[in-house]
Amino acid sequence: MAKDFGIGESVKRSEDVRFVTGNGKYTDDINRPGQTYAYFLRSPVAHATLDSINIDEAKKAPGVVGVFTGQDIADAGLGGVPCGWQITDKHGDPMKEPAHPILAHGKVRHVGDPIVCVVADTYAQARDAAEMIDIDFGQLPAVVDMKAAAEGNPTNVHDEAPDNVCYDWELGDKEAVDSAFAGAAHVTTLELVNNRLVANPMEPRCCIGDWDSSSDDYTLYTTSQNPHVIRLLMGAFVLNIPEHKLRVYAPDVGGGFGAKIYHYAEEAFVTWASKQVRRPIKWTSDRSEAFISDAHGRDQVTKAELAMDAEGKFLALRCDTLANMGAYLSTFAPAIPTWLHGTLLAGQYATPAVHCRVRAMFTNTVPVDAYRGAGRPEATYILERIVNKAAKELGLDQCELRRRNFIRDFPYDTPVAVQYDTGDFDKTLNKAMEISDYANFEQRRQEAASRGKLRGIGLSCYIEACGIAPSSLVGALGARAGLYEAATIRVNPTGSVTVLTGSHSHGQGHETTFAQVVSDALGIPFESVDIVHGDTSKVPFGMGTYGSRSLAVGGSAIVKAVDKVVEKGKKIAAHLLEAAESDIVFEDGQYKVAGTDKAKAFAEVSLAAYVPHNYPIEDVEPGLEETAFYDPKNFTFPAGAYLCEVEVDPETGKVEIIDLFAADDFGNIVNPMIVEGQVHGGLAQGLGQAMLENCVYDEEGQLTSGSYMDYAMPLAGDLPMFTVSSEDGTPCTHNPLGVKGCGEAGAIGSPPALVNAVIDALRDHGIEHIDMPLSPNRVWSAINAASHKQAAE
């Protein structure tokens, strides 16, 4: 065993060789013999009836092999795109769950809603033919603004959802909150917009449907974070194809960030239609198309109120949120503003009473679902902004007010239905203050002022629920699936190991991290471990990668399967060593007879399992392969403290991020290099939300930020080098690795840190809040308005 490759080592990633040489295999790199190409003709309007569709000319166009409409889909009896989570509203009624046909039927409900699909020999031919299609739209008013919708919009996106309400949900003890407010010494209020985002993984979505005429089997190649989930949803709910006839393969996937969790209409279409045209069908999204067909993220508006006593102790928090669902319910959409949001509103604080109300609204916009952090960034943004506003109102330092309210006793039952198993919030705050030299900030502020710049420092203390999730718990909360993970350890006869995991890697480095875990546990060389994922024909089962769950849940399944292998190996070793099984210990890759120097190497025992000549054949089967399913006992709770330091140019309103200091508690860490990389990436997305990114619709429901010309992606020049620390975490108490998850932290903790920093920089202007993104125009306008106000006073 090589110690340099074990748990805790920054092992360089084994997957990188293929990526840096151009040998990655992404879905669009795959081509099937006889492949055709699909072009989806999408709605150019936000809301309209489909009064007529004429496809006659298109059918006759060169190269066309099929033209399909929503009527064809309905005639074939296919199901709609299913939703995987049912919320029960505050009256005990199920949420409104309108149908989501894979091609629009009767009505279109957002710009980008697919109406017709043309399949042709080439992509250009499919697109040429689509231009020959005539559609009569009966234009309807568009529902775009959630607030207006909530105040009574005469137009309904779906007839079955009056007033466009999907559900009206609440969590927490309303009476306790009301009475705490009645007795509060101070109340801070704040209204916030959590801006709508587009996930924008750099690889656009792509899928290939390939029906096999000899076996009647289907293969779907797709850009997915969870191929088994797609197989389940698409097979069982849309196409009625049983699992054994359907293979879903997600090869290398170029980033996901949530947007590739969901089952999308295009996947179901190409799979089904490949049998209709008897040829494979490929669809590759353009980036412009991605903007109007990938699920969006965030998009909430919240009114928050925080009640405190005279010393700044938090008494109660009250939140009223409107959450945009878009035109249809995407796979996890209903769970995001509820169970992934309301449950985190205690944050790191011992607030005794919390109440939150969430109304989920249908609008004529692209469906909204989980995007990196999903619900938890929204909760953190509310809390960490209102706490800073409260600190300012009370004249307290932002760190001090938090310290007065930190939870310090674990396990801790929050008033919003979760139990934090462990944490140390003082420690991460101390660390953040130390690495940022918080104590000497004032000097830096004055130096910046001498250059005409306004310098600010902003704090955010986040906690998130990751490692989702205990199946029985999420089942009770409305999930229509379990959220365990599966793994198989296949020990090959000569002692190398193939790991089949249900976690999907699309940038997270599982091929390295998981191999470290197995190499460490079995005491075999890192290079002898191969990680296989993404293919339902190889991996027994899996729920996939999201919610920072891969190592906490998928890694735990691997550990469980390894344990089973070792247990079986002990039986074999006991036979070979002529010792009692209870005397066998496994350490450093050796089965040893305790207290003796008798031992058999892991590879020797493995070989014996496959060449069972001298073998306990009466008691033990040959072979050495074990599968385990791991269902977590609780969520994991990564937490941390982020300090962001910025400089604002008061003449232009431009914000420069000087540094982002992140002190995270991820529990135990397997590969520090990969963990730091995950934090960096999360920070870039969080800071992008806070400063640059904004998905904007106009009143007609047209997406005005529909390409990189108007949707501002963070570039290298927008960001600084980050200062991150995740050492000495408090290990998770309930999974075998003691890990918590690190994928989303950066995106959760950083937006309020940046906004708090900018508000701090503008301290002399009396500015209380600016909504994200803090674009130069918005910051300048706030300064300009404040200056006029101050001049008038």
Partner 1 sequence: MYAFDYQKPSDVDSAVAALKSEGAQPLSGGQTLIPTLKMRLNMPEVLVDLSGIESMKGISRDGDTIHVGAATTHGAIAKSADIQSAIPGLAHQASRIGDPAVRNRGTIGGAIANNDPAACYPSACMALNATIVTNTRELSAANFFLGMYTTALEEDEIVTAVKFPVPSGSSYQKFDQPASRFPLVGVFVAKTAEGVRVAVTGAGSDGVFRHEGLEQALSGSFSADAVGGVTVSSDGLMKDLHGTPEYRANLIKVLTKRAVQEIG
Partner 2 sequence: MTTITMTVNGKERSGKAEGRTLLVDFLRTEMGLTGTHVGCDTSQCGCCVVHVNGESVKACATFVSGMDGAEVTTIEGMANDDGSLGVMQASFKEHHGLQCGFCTPGMIMSATDLLANNPSPSEDEIRTWLKGNICRCTGYHNIVKSVQAAAATMAGAREAAE
Which of partner 1, partner 2, none does residue 326 bind to, with CB < 5 to 8 Å depending on kind?
none
Binding to partner 1 (CB under 8 A): which residues in 340-359? Answer: none
179 touches partner 1 by CB under 8 A:
no
Q: Which of 447, 588, 621, 651 is in the footprint of partner 1 by CB under 8 A?
A: 651
Residue 23 CB, nearest approach to partner 2 (Å): 7
Q: Cα-Cα-Cα-Cα dihedral of 624, 629, 635, 636, to 10°? A: 10
- Strand, helix or coil for residue 715: coil
Q: Which is nearer to partner 2, 26 or 406 (CB)?
A: 26
Q: Decide if residue 680 touches partner 2 (CB under 8 A).
A: yes
Backbone angles phi, psi at 185, to 5 degrees: -80, -30
Residue 200 near partner 2 by CB under 8 A: yes
CB 104 within 8 Å of CB 73: no
If binding is defined by CB under 8 A, does position 15 make contact with partner 2? Answer: yes
Q: How far is the CB of 692 from partner 1 (least distance, A)?
A: 5
User: How far apart are the C-alpha atoms of 541 and 538, rounded to whole Å?
Assistant: 9
Supply φ then ψ for residue 611, to 5 degrees: -125, 70
User: How many CB atoms lie under 10 A from the CB of residue 110?
Assistant: 27
Which of partner 2, partner 1, none has residue 13 at its interface (CB below 5 to 8 Å by kind)?
partner 2
Of residues 279 through 308, those in contact with partner 2 by CB under 8 A are 286-288
Nearer to partner 2, 20 or 439 (CB): 20
Our CB check for partner 1 shows the closer of 364 and 775 to be 775
Q: Which long-range contacts (CB under 8 A, 24 or more apart) does 217-220 make?
A: 217/245, 217/246, 217/247, 218/245, 218/246, 218/247, 218/271, 218/274, 218/275, 219/246, 219/247, 219/248, 219/249, 220/246, 220/247, 220/248, 220/249, 220/267, 220/270, 220/271
Q: How far is the CB of 586 from partner 2 (least distance, A)?
A: 32
For position 571 contacting partner 1 by CB under 8 A, the verdict is no
Q: Which of 442, 621, 715, 763 binds partner 1 (CB under 8 A)?
A: 715
Beta strand 497-501 pairing with 529-533:
parallel
Q: Is 71 in the site for partner 1 (CB under 8 A)?
A: no
Interface with partner 2, residue 684, by CB under 8 A: yes
d(CA 115, CA 107): 9
254 binds, among partner 1, partner 2, none (CB under 5 to 8 A by kind): partner 2
User: Cβ of residue 366: shortest distance to partner 2, in angstroms?
Assistant: 18
Looking at 182, 185, 449, 696, which residue binds partner 1 (CB under 8 A)? Answer: 696
Residues 737-776 that bind partner 1 (CB under 8 A): 775-776
Q: What contacts 361, CB < 8 A, 6 or more positions away?
A: 146, 149, 150, 164, 165, 166, 322, 323, 324, 325
DSSP string across 174-187: HHHHHHHHHT-SEE
* Interatomic CA distance for residues 742 and 552, integer angstroms: 10
Q: Note whether 638 and 425 are within 8 A (CB).
A: no
Using CB under 8 A, which residues numbered 83 to 142 contact partner 1? 124, 127-128
Measured between alpha carbons, how far is 305 from 233 in angstroms, rounded to an integer?
40
Residues 165 and 150: their CA atoms lie apart, in Å, by 8
**Least distance to partner 1, CB of residue 306, Å:** 32
> Does residue number 781 form part of the binding site for partner 1 (CB under 8 A)?
yes
- Binding segment (CB under 8 A) for partner 1, from list 325-333, 361-369, 495-503, 709-717: 709-717
**Binding site partner of 547, from partner 2, partner 1, none, Cβ cut-off 5-8 A by kind:** none
692, 683, 691, 693: which is closest to 196 by C-alpha? 693
Dist CA 477 CA 451 (whole Å): 54
| 777 sits near partner 1 (criterion: CB under 8 A) | yes
Question: Does 44 engage in binding with partner 1 (CB under 8 A)?
Answer: no
CB of 749 to partner 1, least distance (A): 23
Instruction: Report the nearest approach of partner 1 to the CB of residue 773 (Å).
Output: 8
Encoding tokens for residue 633? 């006992």
DSSP SS3 for 190: strand
**Piece of the chain touching partner 2 by CB under 8 A; list 317-325, 482-490, 521-529, 669-677:** 669-677
253 binds partner 2 (CB under 8 A): yes
Tell me the window of 158-166, 246-254, 560-568, 619-627 that interacts with partner 2 (CB under 8 A). 246-254
Q: Which does 400 bind (CB under 5 to 8 A by kind): partner 2, partner 1, none?
A: none
Locate tokens 């995991």: which residue? 501
**Nearer to partner 1 among residue 434 and residue 651 (C-beta):** 651
Q: Which span (254-262, 397-405, 582-590, 647-655) binds partner 1, by CB under 8 A?
A: 647-655
Check: CB of residue 437 under 8 Å from CB of residue 384: no
Helix axes 556-577, 510-522, angle to 10 degrees: 30
Amino acid in position 440: N
Element (H, E) at 49: strand 48-54
Beta strand 165-172 pairing with 353-362 = antiparallel
**Which among partner 1, partner 2, none contacts residue 507 (Cβ within 5 to 8 A by kind)?**
partner 2
Pick the binder of partner 1 from 498, 705, 723, 733 (CB under 8 A): 705
Q: Is 279 helix (H, G, I), strand (E, B) or coil?
A: coil
787 near partner 1, rule: CB under 8 A: no
**Does residue 791 touch partner 1 according to CB under 8 A?**
no
Over the window 692 to 721, marking each residue x when it contacts partner 2 by CB under 8 A and - when it does not, the resulting string is ---------------xxx---xxxxx-x-x
Q: Which residues form the interface with partner 1 (CB under 8 A)?
A: 124, 127-128, 288, 651-654, 692, 694, 696, 704-705, 708-713, 715, 775-777, 780-781, 784
Q: Which residues form the interface with partner 2 (CB under 8 A)?
A: 12-13, 15-26, 28-29, 124, 200-204, 252-255, 257, 286-288, 506-509, 673-674, 676-677, 680-685, 707-709, 713-717, 719, 721-722, 746
